[in-house]
Structures are given as C-alpha cells and as structure tokens.
Amino acid sequence: MKYFSIDTPSLKASFKEAVIKGIAPDKGLYYPDHIPSLDASFFERIESLSPVEIGLEVMRPFTKDILSKSDLKKILETVLDFDFPVVSLTESVGSLELFHGPTLAFKDVGARFMAQCLGLFSEKNQAPITVLVATSGDTGGAVANGFLGVEGVEVVILYPSGKVSPIQEKQLTTLGQNIRALEVDGTFDDCQKMVKTAFLDKDITDHKQLTSANSINVARWLPQMLYYFLAYKALKPSLDKSGKELVFSVPSGNFGNICAGMVAREMGLPVTHFIAATNANKVVPNFMKQGKYQPEKSIATISNAMDVGDPSNFVRILQMNQNEHSILEKGFSAFSFTDAETKEAMRAIAQEHGYTAEPHGAIGYLGLVEYQKDHPNTYGVFLETAHPVKFLEVVEETLGKTLTIPKKIVEVLSKQKQASKISNYEGLKDFIMQ
C-alpha cells in the first residue's frame, strides 16, 4: 500500500513516510493508492469478533508493509480499551457514543493510534519528531493525552484563544512533559494555516522533523473507520431482522471522521448513506446545493469543534468520488443548523427520549431527522462525539439541569494552565526554533 498526494499523484510515500511527514511536500494530503475490499465472510462473522480482531482485519491492509501483525495488534489493544455503545432512542434512531475514552472525545482513537505508531517509528530515529497540531477543541486534549510521555516525540498544540471550552483548554494545557500549548489570537483556520505553513518552511524543516496530528495525518484519520464497523457489529442482529438500511449522521468540522466512515463503506461496510451535519459553517452544504466549493471565514458557534471554514478532509471525499458532484450526492448529503436550532434539538432529545446530547451530537441528530423525512425505512445513527460535560455551560443552561462532572475532569480542572500566547506565524516559528 502506497499513499499519494492528492495534489500531485506522482508524489508517493509508504505508510511510515506518510505518518512522519504528515502532509506531502507539495502541501497535498496523502490518500491510499487503493481502497481494499473486505471479504463478505468478514461481515457474516463480525458479531463473533472482538474490537481488536475487527481492527486487525480493517487496518492491516493499510499498514502491513510497515507494521507487523503483532505490532498492529499491540497498538489496537492500547487504542480500543474502552466501549463504543450504540444507545437506542427509538426503533429508527440510535446514538453512537464515542466519548468513553480517556479525554471523553471521539478523537482518542485516532490520536492514540498515531501516538503508538510514532512511538514505534521514533525508536529508530536519532532526532526527535515534533508533532504540530491545530485544534478547534477536542483534538488538542486527545493528542496531548495520546502522546504524553512518548519517547522521541515532542508535541506543540495550537488553539484559538477564547474559542474552546474551559475543560477542553485545561485538557491540552496542563499536562507538561513533552506537551506544549500555544494560545493563538485568531480562529482555528488561522491555527491550521500556521501549521501547514511550518511544514513548508525550510528554516524549520532543515533542523526539525515535523509531522501533524490533525486528521490530515493518515494515522489519525484512517483508524476512525473502526467506529463504523463496531457500530455495525452492535446493530447487525436488529438490522437483519428489520431489513432497514443503515445510515450515519456525522457532526462534521474538518470532515476527517465522516471521510473515514466513507472509506469503511468503500471497503464493503453495508451503509446506504452518510449525512454531514454542520453548524453555521456550511461550506460543504453549500457545495452540495450549488456544486461550487467556496471556503469562508469560520464562524464561532456553541459547537466549536466544527467551527471550520475550509475543511481539509473534504478533498479526500472528493477524491473518493472521482471529484464528481453527481457521484458524491448518491451516497452523501449535508445539512447545516443554527445555534438556536441546536439548543432546541438538545431540549427535544432530553424531553422526548430522556437523553442528554451535547451541541455536536444534537446537530448530528438534526441531520438525521432531516434525512429520514424522505427516507423512513432506515435505521439512523448519529454520532455523539464528546461527553456533554465538555460543554458544561451550554448544556446546563440549555437543559436547565446540573451535570455530574466525572472524576477525571475534576482532576484536570484543578491543574494550572500552561500556555504561551502567539498572534502570528512568526510567533510559532520562533517557538519551534527555540
């Protein structure tokens, strides 16, 4: 398996090279040179397989040239050590809870998988690897936790000042050791632009081995496929009985998670449709309506992890669909929702189903409701990508209730924030070089 730059297909790399480089030399995103198909027998016996056994079958084709089966198994045993339950709300709607990991966010899987890979790769490197990552919220905490104490890896996290929740900020600024946080006077898009610029700056790259831990990195992006296989395993008996088609509604910001799910479908996972549910940052919903991709300046919302005005991974979705709008729309829809609609959905979910959803999950729910209006014979799964407590103020204010704060979060909140403030790329460059 080779990975090529979407911008320049002749630029190719191995899995290891793609992980360490993060992005291609031309600033393009790496993409697999083919999507392997899983044998039908795998899906027939999936109910009898453990999460690690499923992970081995799914991830092995993408990594086997570099990772031995035993190394991959060890990585997956570390990564998949918590539950991924599907909570049924109605006969046609379920919530896939992806917040039972160490930082209470879906990004724990990808961040830990990548950290374990880089830990293995850095054992053979004399110089340390510097991981640069921009976060709109949960990525920072997941990366910080996943890479904490990994030998030979230094981590620099950029986050937009005042645009992440207090809990998210504490999770990425309080660990110390090999984790450094930079508080940026700007938006997530500004942070992401700085990271991409650093990769092309020879003053830095001549002296530092840089990689990215955003979902642009294949080791962060691809393991997210596993959510969808695990959900299918849980739902297969009821799907076989009801005959309903399976659809997923994914709260989408940088579009890495939904893109990984679509790769899973390419591998044979029986999913009929994917719904990208966004907040007021609606570049992709606009594209689906108009057929023209036009990046915009990001807008701050209560679902801050999706405040992205130019989602990086959408080029991978286009690549998967031959860059043809007419092909994409057959199995993909996109809807956007306001903060007011999000809060209304949070209240409705609580009142009608006794379920507490945070803003991102509520937007996923809204996307599913919109799609099922015209597709009633489906079982829809919306993704709850973070624990409600990570958005404590908006959840408590919207629902008029007090949430119980998990012990691990109480411990984080008691720690002292450690972050350096920067306002431009030169600030990042000076920090890295020092």
Residue by residue, DSSP assigns 303-354 as SGGG--SS-TTHHHHHHHTTT-HHHHTTSEEEEE--HHHHHHHHHHHHHHH-
Please give the pLDDT value at position 241. Answer: 96
Cα→Cα distances 303→2, 138, 362, 409, Å:
36, 11, 9, 19
Q: Distance (Å, rounded) from C-alpha 165 to C-alpha 391?
A: 6
Provide the residue type at 255 as one letter: F
Q: Distance (Å, rounded) from C-alpha 253 to C-alpha 257?
A: 9
Q: Tens digits of per-residue pLDDT, 128-146?
A: 889 998 887 777 788 888 8
Residue 279 has pLDDT above 70, yes or no: yes
Q: Tens digits of per-residue pLDDT, 360-387?
A: 999 999 999 999 999 999 999 999 999 9
Please give the pLDDT value at position 125. Answer: 62
Q: Which residues are catalytic?
A: 107
Contacts of 7 (CB under 8 A, 6+ apart): 24, 26, 27, 28, 29
Q: Tens digits of per-residue pLDDT, 5-20?
A: 999 999 999 999 999 8
Residue 261 has pLDDT above 90, yes or no: yes
Please give the pLDDT value at position 124. Answer: 62
Please give the pLDDT value at position 411. Answer: 86
Q: Compute how many other C-beta atoms are within 10 angstroms of the C-beta atom of residue 255.
A: 26
Whole-prediction pTM: 0.91
Taking residues 348-363, report their average pLDDT: 98
Overall CATH class of domain 82-104+221-406 = alpha beta
Q: Tens digits of per-residue pLDDT, 65-117?
A: 999 999 999 999 999 999 999 999 999 999 999 999 988 999 999 999 999 99
